[in-house]
Amino acid sequence: MNSTEGYTNEAKNHDFGAVLLLAHGAGAPSDSPFMEALAARLSEKGVTVARFEFPYMQKRREDGRKRPPDRAEKLLAYFSEVIERQRSELLQGQSLFIGGKSMGGRMASLLAADPSMEGRFQGVLCFGYPFHPPGKLDRWRTDHFGQLWCPVTIQQGTRDAFGKPDEVAVQMLPDAVSVNWLEGGNHDFLPPKKSPFSQDQLIEQAADNAVMFIKSLV
């Protein structure tokens, strides 16, 4: 990770010409164990993954002090800049997708509802979407879904405190949004010990679903 730019392009595997620009969640950096595992699985399946860090996380790397995320406007502005940088680096025939873990995925979905961003990427992939703060079912983060101009897919654990199946079911999500449920997974796709699945297996499932989504649009 380049701590100055907060941006790294990796996994140079161009099996079907897809690049995924992947943002981190609110509290963990782009090289957290979850992000490392997810990027590795996607790379193995033919997706070029480019990870980056928002400025507040870059500062944390520099001085070791934890900071809360910046306001959404600042995060979205920086995400947009990184998208343009990545677009300038695409090889001929490559398609760009964006997404992220939790907050990063939410920011990506907000850009997919911004008319000024239309056409700059082909789809959005969210891993553990924060549908609402834990325990606060009166604070849904789905109002912008009705303005989406491209497809969005969400990989969500069935035990995710930020949005469980019965809670999400009543939201009447638009056709542009698809949700794949990972049995027993929490917000980091970690299942309980009694589960027949491991966290690695659920991350593998999420990566498989993501690749199917990307291939359907490439």
pLDDT in tens, 140-171: 999 999 999 999 999 999 999 999 999 999 99
Task: Determine the pLDDT at residue 186.
Answer: 98
Listed by start position, the domains of the chain span 7-217
| pLDDT score of 177 more than 50 | yes
Token pair in block for residue 193: 């010990």
Do 100 and 74 form a contact (C-beta atoms < 8 A)? no
Looking at the chain, the whole-number percentage of residues with pLDDT higher than 90 is 89
Tens digit of each residue's pLDDT (9 = 90 or more) over 8-50: 555 444 567 899 999 999 999 999 999 999 999 999 999 999 9
- pLDDT confidence of 7, banded at 50, 70, 90? low
Q: What one-character-per-residue DSSP string does 157-207 give? A: ETT-TT--HHHHHTT---TTEEEEEETT--TTSPPPTTSSS-HHHHHHHHH
Distance, in Å, from the CA atom of 133 to the CA atom of 21, rounded to the nearest integer, reads 25
pLDDT at 169: 95
Q: Regarding beta strands 95-101 and 18-23, do their DSSP bridges make them parallel or antiparallel, or are they unpaired?
A: parallel
104: DSSP letter: H
Fold of the domain built from segment(s) 7-217: Rossmann fold (3.40.50)
Report the Cα 1 to chain-centroid distance in Å. Answer: 18
- CA pair distance 91, 198, nearest whole angstrom: 36
